[in-house]
A and B are shown apart, each in its own frame.
Chain A
């Protein structure tokens, strides 16, 4: 930890995780409820605005520290950690590209801990290929009118605002712009939540924009700058997912190590069989390297250096690690790992999505290789 403040912050996070999240997570994931109260608790404690400037209500924490908070939360409740990461992502465009007036007007609310944001980028027909999106924003007398359908939107229907990307001209990737749409805007509606494999407390649904009118002041950055903003935000957002995946993998490893230390077969602890001990060692190596890659990228970001490639590496390494470690953790517990009596099967289901969202791991490889090849 770089500072005493950061150490205190992690301690606070652990306390909230232990007292508030841990007792709720199993039932909530089973019931598939959105943990609104938990987000309020995190917000009041100041954990929803860590990497943003103090003058707008943030805590001015370096990414390196913010991400470790996300990792801590993920080790207890993955859905909530993903929610924290997504929320952070939603404030990114304004914080990085907004005018001083926009920051003044919008950031304090976003960072107050009272509001939750959603990030509307993907569409049914435009997933990895963002530039092919069709949601359109047209100029009106005093602002913009949005029409189209976004897909896979976390916090859909629960968010207070929607950071939304839409087409403002037909010029492919250069024709996208970024908007902040209030949650109560007229014409905004939501489909039923998707029935997902896991991450049940992260409600994901389509968001429909039917001539949603917003003020001029809600265009973030320049017209046509949307693709650049989206990619820049995703660089940061990916680190959140990498950190969450690391926390999830750590939790799985911890459960597996405990079990392997106690369960006996053939008159020995199963952990004393080299076949299993080495599995645990490989899991530890995977978790540790996942953490190292996201911290490396975060430190570059905190130093104001380029970190896009490193963020993609971190997302790739950490989420693949999470998939492998959670799968192996189920293996360590044997039949017990396959039941809902232990959280391992849930961890495994939750790990899968980290290889898919915020850019699939194929897309991460695309980003990484583009950095390697000379033009």
Chain B
């Protein structure tokens, strides 16, 4: 079982996050980054699968030099090797371009040994668009089984992946033949902490560094200029204004209900 987990290096949500004034992209230099917490679930799920059977977990990230930290964290958790695609031309890429780079990287990984399963988080904690998994599956021609709250692999590499996808009213059970792409939610497991031994071991694990040229991607296909959308301007969210005080003159209940309906809370 060869599993590729796509992970993203994101600005720490606990820190003050901002954008670059020059091109309105996310500022990744002046804030500490880390492995997106939603991707930890993907790493954990992949590790559980190979631990229960056999195989190897490769973590793949597309990002600037610091993104190596995201790979490092996944390797510390137990993943076997890493692939880091880093190229200045990628800066400012949108989801479409990111999925292209990921797809080409996965194809290249697959040249060595076929990839049986691609696992991703359900979204990144910075962009939170959640569209990359599906775009990636489309580019790779794989079935996309997304938002898994449970994942079962039957029959190993040539077998199937069955997921539960929880909706508001019902839970869907979906089965796909492998190879497939699965995105997982934060309900699927409890990601492990690295162990100190894992931290030591991670230092010896191989990490490949690829640039666009290694993947045969023309720089004009990615980056800010190729993006389908563009951030024109950004502004800090205005501070919350003071709430409305409803004085109760016997009709407090009615006023309250009116307020709630007006704002479509009920």
Which residues of the partner chain B approach A12 to less than 8 Å between Cβ atoms?
193-194, 196, 199
Asked if B199 contacts A5 (CB within 8 A), the reply is yes
A19, A20, A45, A50: residue with the most chain B Cβ atoms closer than 10 Å: A45
Which residues of the partner chain A approach B197 to less than 8 Å between Cβ atoms?
46, 59
Asked if B194 contacts A45 (CB within 8 A), the reply is yes
**Further 17 A-B residue pairs, CB within 8 A, beyond A9-B199, A46-B195, A59-B197:** A5-B200, A8-B76, A9-B196, A12-B193, A12-B196, A12-B199, A15-B193, A19-B193, A41-B193, A44-B193, A44-B195, A45-B193, A45-B194, A46-B197, A47-B196, A59-B196, A59-B200
A15 to B192, CA, bound (A): 11
**CB-contacts of B185-206 with A (<8 A):** 192-197, 199-200
21 A-B pairs within 8 Å (CB atoms) are namely A5-B199, A8-B76, A9-B196, A9-B199, A12-B193, A12-B194, A12-B196, A20-B193, A41-B193, A44-B192, A44-B195, A45-B193, A45-B194, A45-B195, A45-B196, A46-B195, A46-B196, A46-B197, A50-B196, A59-B197, A59-B200
* B32 CB, nearest partner CB in chain A, Å: 11
Tell me if A16 counts as interface (CB < 8 A to partner B).
yes
In terms of DSSP, what is the predominant structure of the interface of chain A?
helix
A47 to B76, CA, bound (A): 15
Contacts between chains A and B (CB distance < 8 A), count? 30
B interface residues, Cβ below 8 angstroms from A: 76, 192-197, 199-200
A113: nearest chain-B partner, CB-CB: B195
Which residues of the partner chain A approach B200 to less than 8 Å between Cβ atoms?
5, 59
Which residues of the partner chain A approach B76 to less than 8 Å between Cβ atoms?
8
A50: nearest chain-B partner, CB-CB: B196
A20 to B192, CA, bound (A): 11
Can you list the 7 inter-chain pairs with the closest CB atoms, starting with the nearest? A46-B196, A46-B195, A8-B199, A45-B193, A45-B195, A59-B196, A16-B193
* A53 CB, nearest partner CB in chain B, Å: 13
**CB-contacts of A39-86 with B (<8 A):** 41, 44-47, 50, 59
Contact with B along A110-141 (1 / 0, CB 8 A): 00000000000000000000000000000000
* A254 CB, nearest partner CB in chain B, Å: 16
A5 to B194, CA, bound (A): 13
Which residues of the partner chain B approach A46 to less than 8 Å between Cβ atoms?
195-197
* B227 CB, nearest partner CB in chain A, Å: 34
B14: nearest chain-A partner, CB-CB: A18
* B192 CB, nearest partner CB in chain A, Å: 7
Which residues of the partner chain B approach A41 to less than 8 Å between Cβ atoms?
193
A19 to B37, CA, bound (A): 12
* A247 CB, nearest partner CB in chain B, Å: 19
* B128 CB, nearest partner CB in chain A, Å: 20
A9: nearest chain-B partner, CB-CB: B196
A44 to B196, CA, bound (A): 9
Which residues of the partner chain B approach A59 to less than 8 Å between Cβ atoms?
196-197, 200
Contact with B along A15-31 (1 / 0, CB 8 A): 11001100000000000
Which residues of the partner chain A approach B196 to less than 8 Å between Cβ atoms?
9, 12, 45-47, 50, 59
A46: nearest chain-B partner, CB-CB: B196
A44: nearest chain-B partner, CB-CB: B195
Contact with B along A158-175 (1 / 0, CB 8 A): 000000000000000000
Which residues of the partner chain B approach A45 to less than 8 Å between Cβ atoms?
193-196
A209 to B194, CA, bound (A): 39
A8 to B198, CA, bound (A): 11
Which residues of the partner chain A approach B192 to less than 8 Å between Cβ atoms?
44
